[in-house]
């Protein structure tokens, strides 16, 4: 079992290191090469927005957005120490 995990770890390290070797060369400056970064940025945007849409629909279907008023009142029920109000604000005396 330990040998299998070692081999799997080495294969995983090799798989993660292989793409870095592909991008380690100097790229020629052509009209097409100037748009490579923009293409990657657009592809990443569409992939992440698609995943966000899938997660949103899954949350909606599971009922995460039902009765939002009751969910909003939950933080109001938590008792916490007041860290922000200074001690002098609790004095009953009026400043004259």
Structural domain boundaries in the chain? 36-76
pLDDT at 96 exceeding the cut of 60: no
pLDDT one-digit tens code per residue, 4-20? 889 999 998 888 877 66
- Name the residue among 54, 55, 36 with its Cα closest to residue 44: 36
Q: Which residue has the tokens 């079992």?
A: 1
pLDDT at 14: 83
| pLDDT tens readout for residues 27-68 | 667 777 777 778 888 999 999 999 999 999 999 999 888 887
| Stated pTM of the model | 0.43
Res. 71: pLDDT tops 80: no
Maximum CA extent, the chain: 80
Q: List, in sequence order, the alpha helices (H) in 1-96.
A: 2-22, 36-61, 68-72
Angle at the Cα of 67 from the Cα atoms of 61 and 70, rounded to 5 degrees:
135
């Amino acid at each position: 079992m330990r040998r299998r995990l070692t081999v799997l770890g080495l294969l995983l390290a090799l798989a993660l290191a292989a793409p870095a070797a592909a991008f380690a060369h100097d790229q020629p400056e052509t009209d097409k090469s100037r748009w490579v970064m923009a293409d990657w940025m657009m592809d990443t945007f569409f992939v992440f927005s698609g995943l966000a849409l899938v997660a949103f629909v899954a949350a909606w279907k599971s009922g995460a957005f039902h009765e939002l008023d009751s969910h909003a009142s939950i933080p109001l029920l938590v008792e916490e120490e007041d860290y922000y109000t200074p001690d002098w604000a609790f004095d009953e005396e009026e400043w004259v």
